[in-house]
């Protein structure tokens, strides 16, 4: 994977909106702006928390570190899938940007990537994240937080606003997205 490659990790029980929202953000940035692929723990289809079947583009174990990795949330984060956590531990440190959507923050924390960092998640899960991962500074107030080289870890941000903020942070003004509420 090269410069503008984005990898969205999918797994059993992932929240479909947490996959499709970021997918729309990146593909909506304009033709050729990003190359987006999905990868699952063994490359086989996964069922989302709503029952939708997603077919990943790649087997996660064979996926090289991308420029940006997005870790969606959903009920499936509770399992701390060992293949996902291991891949994150090994590859995320060599990835320029790491983002999680909603409860995807739990997978980043399990992989040790949020230790000593400020992070947020869905407001209903902030106390649980803080209890389970005491080395993470959980901030329940913001809808997103950005630390170090990482872009916002979005909590329950509408996709249009997330798209607008992400494009402002990463496009150097070249994105076609101009306003958070206008499509």
What mean pLDDT is predicted for residues 123-134? 94
* Active-site residue identified among 102, 109, 119, 129: 102
Task: Name the pLDDT band for 170 (thresholds 50, 70, 90).
Answer: low
Q: Tell me the sheet residues that pair with 5.
A: 35
Coil/strand/helix, residue 78: helix
Per-residue pLDDT tens over the stretch 13-33: 999 999 999 999 898 888 889
Q: Considering only 9-13, 115-119, 172-176, which range has the smallest mean pLDDT?
A: 172-176
Supply the pLDDT for residue 181.
Answer: 39
Task: Name the pLDDT band for 182 (thresholds 50, 70, 90).
Answer: very low
In DSSP notation, 94-128 reads: GSSEEEEBTTHHHHHHHTTTTTTSEE---GGGHHH
Fold (CATH) for 5-170: Rossmann fold (3.40.50)
> What torsion, rounded to 10 degrees, do the Cα atoms 172, 169, 71, 126 define?
180
Q: What are phi and psi of 52, to 5 degrees?
A: -70, 135
Q: What is the pTM of this model?
A: 0.81
- Cβ partners under 8 Å of residue 129, min gap 6: 105, 106, 109, 119, 121, 136, 138
C-alpha 117/C-alpha 138 separation (Å) is: 8
Per-residue pLDDT tens over the stretch 104-126: 999 999 999 999 999 988 888 99
- Residue spans of the domains in the chain: they are 5-170
Residue 117 CB burial class (10 angstroms; 0-12, 13-18, ≥19): middle
C-alpha 51/C-alpha 74 separation (Å) is: 12
Task: Name the pLDDT band for 65 (thresholds 50, 70, 90).
Answer: confident
Q: 102 catalytic, yes or no? A: yes
What mean pLDDT is predicted for residues 70-86? 94
Contact 145, 155 (CB under 8 A): no
Supply the pLDDT for residue 64.
Answer: 84
**CA-closest candidate to residue 83, choices 123, 110, 49:** 110
Is residue 178 pLDDT above 90, yes or no? Answer: no
Task: Give the pair of three-digit tokens for residue 47.
Answer: 């069922």
What mean pLDDT is predicted for residues 169-182? 52
């Amino acid at each position: 994977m090269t410069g503008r490659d984005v990898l969205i990790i999918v797994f059993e029980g992932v929240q479909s909106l947490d996959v499709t929202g970021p997918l729309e953000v990146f593909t909506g940035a304009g033709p050729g702006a990003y190359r987006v692929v999905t990868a699952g723990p063994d490359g086989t289809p996964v069922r989302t928390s709503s029952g939708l079947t997603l077919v990943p583009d790649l087997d996660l174990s064979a996926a090289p570190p991308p420029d940006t990795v997005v870790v969606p949330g959903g009920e499936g984060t509770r399992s701390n899938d060992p293949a996902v956590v291991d891949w994150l531990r090994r590859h995320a440190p060599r990835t320029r940007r790491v983002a999680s959507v909603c409860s995807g923050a739990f997978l980043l924390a399990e992989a040790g990537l949020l230790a000593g960092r400020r992070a947020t998640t869905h407001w209903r899960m902030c106390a649980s994240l803080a209890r389970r991962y005491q080395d993470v500074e959980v901030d329940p107030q913001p809808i997103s937080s950005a630390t170090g080289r990482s872009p916002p870890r979005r909590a329950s941000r509408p996709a249009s606003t997330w798209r607008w903020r992400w494009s402002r942070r990463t496009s150097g003004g070249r994105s076609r997205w101009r306003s958070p509420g206008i499509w």
